[in-house]
Structure 1
Amino acid sequence: MPLGILRPAVELYVDLHAHPELSGAEVRTAGRFAAALERHGAAVTRGVGGHGVVGVLANGPGPVVLLRAELDALPVTERTGLPYASTAAGVMHACGHDLHLAAASGALALLARCRETWRGTVLVVGQPAEETLEGARAMLADGLYERFGTPDAVLAQHAAPLPAGTVAHGRGGPLMAGSAALDVTIHGRGGHAGAPQLAVDPVLTAAATVLRLQSVVARETAPSEQVVLTVGSLHAGERGNVIPDRAELSLSVRAFSDAALDRVTAAVERIVRAECAASGCPDEPEFTLASRSPALLPDQDTAAAVRRVHEGLFGPHRVTDWPPATATEDFPLYGAADAGIRTAYWMLGVTGARQWRAAREGAVPPPANHAPDFAPDVRTALPAGITAMAGAALHVLPAAEEEAR
């Protein structure tokens, strides 16, 4: 990897990691990423679908390939001890989006440097609000394809707790689950903690609801079907001597088919309403669908071709299988088989050799995404990420002599 490409990518990564921003607030991140794309010769547009960034590197007639990375961080307090650890209180790049951005920038630099070997157009997208599953939809609604061209292929990669310098591809079928995020409000009747008979306690109703919801997976879902239902937030009241008048829950459902998502979300609503009725709540509960995303199902031919490219670049021993995961993404929204938009998506190993050995010897898995000690080995993972992304793009873009013929 030429130092002229790797060094700016590392500098971008370190800067972004130290200055993370939450979904919908990625102002500085977008600016830094846009500036990096401009330095590599791309025509850049800011403010697409929020803080989204689109860089265009046009190189004559030919196919259009879109490289996608994400701008946002997570509300996690970092505990990595890195010298470039987050300077934003309670916010951290705990999912590797900073690495994705640096790799996409480096891939663009590599493609710009060898533009005499290919023809076509490269779109590099810095997407906001991936963690809330809002950003892809917002960019598409803001005319991403109408304004910058419909891509022939859309490519993305994601950091994973695998050995740094490796990549992993799906075995066919879904790579990640689809999801639905629901916000629920349970209405009670507030009162004095010493006179509960005069109130309707929404805390008790919410607690019963959380426990009962576990039966949807345990007793309403076939053991062979992968479904996850998680209540990630429950908030009610402020003081121990006051019964509040409402309780709020936020939950997520993950499954590998739209039918399963529909079935489980309907079960959630049924159980919440039943528990509210059992408690004698004065008003019906309220439901808000915060987000929904389909399962990630890459185009099988494109994914298989990209895997072969990666095997040629890294060697077959550094390309592994990735089983279906119940993590979720809004990346599938960029693809449309009926419009000829193919997708490929792979996992990028980020765990350093020493940490990987320690994890294996101690039988404790290495820190995973969303954990406060998640720390990619940038020295190994970033060059691999640049190479993997640029190599996949060159598979889509025809060689210059081929285009000339």
Structure 2
Amino acid sequence: MHARFIAYPIAYLIGTLFSGAVMADDLFDYYKRLHANPELSHFEINTSANLAAELRKVGYQVTERVGKYADGSRAYGVVAVLENGSGPRLLIRADMDALPIVEETGLPYASKVIAKNLAGQEVGVMHACGHDVHVTTLLGTARELAARRNEWHGTVVLVGQPSEETLDGAQALLRDGLYQRFGRPDMALAMHDSPGLATGQVGVYSGATHAAVTSIDVTIRGIGGHGAAPHRGKDPIVMAAQFINQIQTIVSRNQDPMNSAVVTVGSIHGGTKRNIIPDEVKLELTTRASSDAAMKIIVDGIHRAAEGVAVSNGLAEDRKPIVKIIESETGPSNINNPALAARVKKAISGALGADKVTDGFGIMGSEDFAQYSLPPERTIPTVLFILGVIDPELLAKASAGKAYVPGTHTSKFAPMAEASLKVGVKAMTAAAIDLLQK
């Protein structure tokens, strides 16, 4: 748990700080409906349709079903454009998809949704990463910008993005000609809620907010046989254990300690019965790194470890491990442009007060918002700021070791939504209006 926060009384957060009309009365109701009806990546049918309808109501030109996945199927992206004279073109993005988690928050508007994932399995569905906060903030900001056109000039391009959790949503939009069809933006903004900041706070980080991610499948192949006669085969389960132990040294012994990096084996499957040595074991890995150089060390190390296991166990060439990078679940680090971050921080500080805005912090999670900057050159400056969503009193107790704050991607993640949304809308609107000046 991150300890950087300021504990403001709840009454203050909901009262004087937000006395301006930054959020219509129905916006929290919209959030609750969205939270109760989450949709998985690639299946954001109703979420996208409802967002599109709301944006049309306030005067945006809306296009639906924007995005094309690698297999050619259409995505549920929403792009809404509002032109207001000459000036900069600003893209604001919110991700829409939920996670395959059974919700256990106990909230009166908790999700009870059960749906089928891409593999056809029935899973619980929950907004466990706060994308419902992101979408609702986008809608609130859209309303504010439409109502306050006398304060800015230029073009706003709002993007309701599908499939961030599978890391192929931004790629799908760009593959479908996002910038060619709706104009190349001069800059792009996004926001992510955080259980590491108290409600009332915003963090604007200059640099890498999220790590690069490379998803890797490794198949350790052996020669199966009877469990009572292991000497007659080549046991892939033992080799998988050797491989897992070996790759843990990539971070601890190959990386510069100043470079953040993670190697995690999240899934391992092999064998069918206790006395049968299988032919192969399949592993799914996620790797994270704060720089391209650190990621190269990880990927090279995994290849070497796989090769080493094969050599040490005397495997023939046709039985060596298979290492496959999953391109659709791989992406670069998200890097906030320093100059743009400074400007956004100043604008939000002006709206909320300087004491409510921190420098933020980077995490090892991934974010496909990085794709909008067009890496590796990153010719479009982008900023993703973080929004505190946790009760300040609870966060204070957690910092003192007297309470637990459930994080994102857990079944009990419950943002302090109503107050947090007001802060998010006010912050995003302030940043947008400042950037949309001639």
TM-score w.r.t. length of structure 2? 0.85
> What residue is the counterpart of 1:79 in the other structure?
104
> What residue is the counterpart of 2:30 in the other structure?
12
> What residue is the counterpart of 1:285 in the other structure?
321
Given the alignment of the two structures, is residue 95 of structure 1 paired with residue 129 of structure 2, yes or no?
yes
1:233 and 1:376 map into 2 onto residues whose CA distance is 29
1:200 and 1:91 map into 2 onto residues whose CA distance is 41
Structure 1 residue 363, shift from structure 2 partner: 4.4
Aligned counterpart for 1:59 among listed residues 77, 80, 84: 84
Q: Closer, same or farther in 2 for the Cα pair 1:204/1:340, shift >3 Å?
A: closer
2:384 and 2:22 map into 1 onto residues whose CA distance is 27
1:316 and 1:70 map into 2 onto residues whose CA distance is 28
Structure 1 residue 273, shift from structure 2 partner: 2.1
Q: Closer, same or farther in 2 for the Cα pair 1:314/1:203, shift >3 Å?
A: same
**SS at 1:30 equivalent:** helix
Structure 1 residue 339, shift from structure 2 partner: 8.1
Aligned counterpart for 2:354 among listed residues 316, 325, 333: 316
Structure 1 residue 121, shift from structure 2 partner: 1.3
Q: Closer, same or farther in 2 for the Cα pair 1:189/1:357, shift >3 Å?
A: same
Contact 2:22-2:140 within 8 A present in 1 as well: no
Structure 1 residue 361, shift from structure 2 partner: 4.1
Pairing 1:360-379 to 2, within 5 Å after superposition: 360-379=399-418
Aligned counterpart for 1:214 among listed residues 233, 238, 248: 248
2:346 and 2:325 map into 1 onto residues whose CA distance is 40
1:16 and 1:51 map into 2 onto residues whose CA distance is 16
Given the alignment of the two structures, is residue 110 of structure 1 paired with residue 144 of structure 2, yes or no?
yes
Aligned counterpart for 1:346 among listed residues 375, 385, 405: 385
Aligned counterpart for 2:296 among listed residues 235, 250, 262: 262
Aligned counterpart for 1:294 among listed residues 323, 332, 341: 332
Q: Closer, same or farther in 2 for the Cα pair 1:63/1:364, shift >3 Å?
A: same
Structure 1 residue 347, shift from structure 2 partner: 0.6
2:30 and 2:312 map into 1 onto residues whose CA distance is 55
Structure 1 residue 328, shift from structure 2 partner: 1.6
Pairing 1:359-398 to 2, within 5 Å after superposition: 359-398=398-437
2:59 and 2:367 map into 1 onto residues whose CA distance is 29
> What residue is the counterpart of 2:65 in the other structure?
47
Given the alignment of the two structures, is residue 121 of structure 1 paired with residue 155 of structure 2, yes or no?
yes
Structure 1 residue 301, shift from structure 2 partner: 1.1
Q: Closer, same or farther in 2 for the Cα pair 1:194/1:294, shift >3 Å?
A: same
Q: Closer, same or farther in 2 for the Cα pair 1:340/1:200, shift >3 Å?
A: closer
> What residue is the counterpart of 2:186 in the other structure?
152
Contact 1:352-1:380 within 8 A present in 2 as well: no
Structure 1 residue 381, shift from structure 2 partner: 0.7
2:231 and 2:109 map into 1 onto residues whose CA distance is 55
Contact 2:203-2:361 within 8 A present in 1 as well: no
Measured against aligned partners, the alpha-carbon deviations of 1:45-89 in whole angstroms (never above 9, x if no partner) come to 111111211111222222111110111122222221111112224
Structure 1 residue 224, shift from structure 2 partner: 2.0
Contact 1:45-1:54 within 8 A present in 2 as well: yes
1:144 and 1:44 map into 2 onto residues whose CA distance is 13
1:169 and 1:30 map into 2 onto residues whose CA distance is 28
Measured against aligned partners, the alpha-carbon deviations of 1:259-309 in whole angstroms (never above 9, x if no partner) come to 211121010111022113333446122222113222222111111011011
> What residue is the counterpart of 2:4 in the other structure?
none
1:21 and 1:278 map into 2 onto residues whose CA distance is 47
2:238 and 2:102 map into 1 onto residues whose CA distance is 31
The one-letter amino acid paired with 2:359 is: D
Structure 1 residue 336, shift from structure 2 partner: 4.5
Contact 1:152-1:340 within 8 A present in 2 as well: no
**SS at 1:219 equivalent:** helix
Deviates more, 1:238-247 or 1:311-320: 238-247
1:238 and 1:24 map into 2 onto residues whose CA distance is 32
Aligned counterpart for 1:70 among listed residues 95, 105, 114: 95
Contact 1:6-1:383 within 8 A present in 2 as well: no
Identity %: 41
Structure 1 residue 247, shift from structure 2 partner: 1.3
Contact 1:20-1:73 within 8 A present in 2 as well: yes
The one-letter amino acid paired with 1:183 is: D
Structure 1 residue 364, shift from structure 2 partner: 4.6
Given the alignment of the two structures, is residue 239 of structure 1 paired with residue 273 of structure 2, yes or no?
yes
Contact 1:336-1:342 within 8 A present in 2 as well: no
> What residue is the counterpart of 1:168 in the other structure?
203
Q: Closer, same or farther in 2 for the Cα pair 1:197/1:22, shift >3 Å?
A: farther
2:344 and 2:392 map into 1 onto residues whose CA distance is 25
Measured against aligned partners, the alpha-carbon deviations of 1:115-154 in whole angstroms (never above 9, x if no partner) come to 2332211111111121222111111111000000111110
> What residue is the counterpart of 1:35 in the other structure?
53
1:21 and 1:245 map into 2 onto residues whose CA distance is 38
Contact 2:95-2:162 within 8 A present in 1 as well: yes
Structure 1 residue 365, shift from structure 2 partner: 5.0
1:99 and 1:310 map into 2 onto residues whose CA distance is 18
2:224 and 2:322 map into 1 onto residues whose CA distance is 17
- Runs (5+) with no aligned partner, structure 1: none
Deviates more, 1:120-129 or 1:274-283: 274-283
**SS at 1:51 equivalent:** strand
> What residue is the counterpart of 1:335 in the other structure?
373
Contact 1:335-1:342 within 8 A present in 2 as well: yes
Note the aligned Cα RMSD (angstroms).
2.1
